[in-house]
Amino acid sequence: MVKLNTQKTINDLETSFLKTDLPVLRIGDNVKVGVKIIEGDKERVQFYEGTIIARKNSSINTTITVRKVLQGIGVERIFLIHSPKIDSITVLRSSKIRR
């Protein structure tokens, strides 16, 4: 009987789905995230522009939290950066922050 290492199998499968063309993302950067939106049978890209306020690293489940102020109200959105729904991420401005 062959014993399979399930964690190694999962890691090998996850690495095939990781994106390699991502820019270096730091907290405090102003970014423009292109999200694919499907409306009926059409697909378009909607851009979300804001400041990265959080980042959580866990291989394929790496997320960033982007905050923007829309009509005086703060809106935060969490993005999985390796998701196929994310079309592009561009860094508009990088700034040094104190945490």
Q: What is the pTM of this model?
A: 0.82
- State pLDDT tens for residues 16-56: 888 888 889 999 999 999 999 999 999 999 999 999 999 99
Mean confidence (pLDDT) of the chain: 89
1 pLDDT above the threshold of 70: no
Model confidence at 65, pLDDT cuts 50, 70, 90, reads very high
2 pLDDT above the threshold of 70: no
Per DSSP, the residues of the chain read -PPP-HHHHHHHHHHTT--S-PPP--TT-EEEEEEEEEETTEEEEEEEEEEEEEEE--GGG-EEEEEEEETTEEEEEEEETT-TTEEEEEEEE------
